[in-house]
Structure 1
Amino acid sequence: MPSLKSHRRKQIMSSRKGNRHGSLWLVYSPKSNEDLTITSDRELLYWMSELEINHNVRQFKFDAEVAVCLDENDPDTFEVVSFTLVECVDGTTELHMIDARENLDTDLKCLSVRFRSENNVIRKAKIVRVPLARLKLFSPQIGFWLRILAFASQVRDYKLDVETDLVNLVVSTDGEGTIRSLLSTIHIQDPALAVGAICRLILSGAILVEAGGDSFGYNTSWRSL
């Protein structure tokens, strides 16, 4: 009988979609509260910048097979295409595709379409093309955000309601500061829980941080909304 470790390795390798030479990332997503297998560096940049830390995104699903109407002259014909299915906080739906050909323009390209939902209801959506140039522009920040995600991952099994309330109280009172000053002000006995609560609030958008070239740490500046 294969071990759990070898079974997990097989599951991960099967998600490479034929590319056995590219990077493979196993990451934790606080937004979906699950582990994700990211099959390339490009997809990692996309997931982080356009999904995980995008406060307009409520939930997402990779490799969703979606029936969309792409021909305005034939509104009854739907074609199944693979997208990242994105549900936004305002209730709208976006269908994301990475445009690997675009290396200059960093703006998102949107196209309004109709698609057939899982319950066969026809709904409106936007196909969003994410240029490769946009992902490259974000790439210097990836280490900063991966460190924040690592801290959030360490407390994934904790509710942290009390710790979050304590952090929110200081944030609303002080308005801005550094992570060091924030930690020194809040009264949380376990530093790991304190940092975990702070990172959750950063990822949710309740605390704004400056993602500079340096890694996330004590000297990182923050401010309230």
Structure 2
Amino acid sequence: MHVRLGGRDVLTDITVDFAPGELVGLIGPNGAGKTTLLRCLSGAIAPRRGTVHCPRRAVGYVPQRAHVAWDFPISVFQAVLNGRAHLHKFRPAGRADYEHAHQALARTAMAELADRSIAELSGGQRQRVLIARALACNPRVLLLDEPLTGLDVPNQEMLGDLVKQLSHGGTTIIMATHDLGQAVDLCDKLLILKGTVHAYAPPQDLKDPELWQRVFGVSADAALLRTVGART
């Protein structure tokens, strides 16, 4: 797959297969193309060359929280229910839609806050609402763009447990993150991206310090290498 945006090549020669129920950490430096890759997988961006072999309705995309208008006057339940709107563009939500929305709220431990305004939520609660919104459509693949950024440690742990539960239930999860320690600890595989795929393997197989130095532009003594277990 090849993606060109704004007159420049953002992603080149991307070839990767994701297994059912796999939790993948998508990592790389700023500007590496992580969000672009997620948007391609979601169908929001069409690659210049190549294809994405996954039905669009089988994919749930969770954007960064900063890209959502949290001051919009809407309840938690309505926000999640609206995630199903594209499934029935020309009819009102029906009983099945309401049931799926309630189930998604239960899976993300947000059912008790269903009637609360989204403007009143904490950062961790907002992240769970976005995940519930995507889950309301029963996706086989869930794409998460920086879900842990800006959260305190308890909320990071809670969301880490949630994504592990979802992957154990058979949902394939691709999660872009800057938290390398969390990615190494949490994910089945790491996809190291910088314009192209530099590695795609389980964390324990990615101990070559030269790989991390090349992709992240750090020195041989960088703390990053110790974080990912490439240097003791």
Query: TM-score range, shorter-chain basis?
Result: under 0.3
- TM, length-normalised to structure 1: 0.26
- TM, length-normalised to structure 2: 0.25
Question: Of Structure 1 and Structure 2, which has the larger fraction of its residues in helix?
Answer: 2
Question: Of Structure 1 and Structure 2, which has the larger fraction of its residues in strand?
Answer: 1
Larger Rg: 1
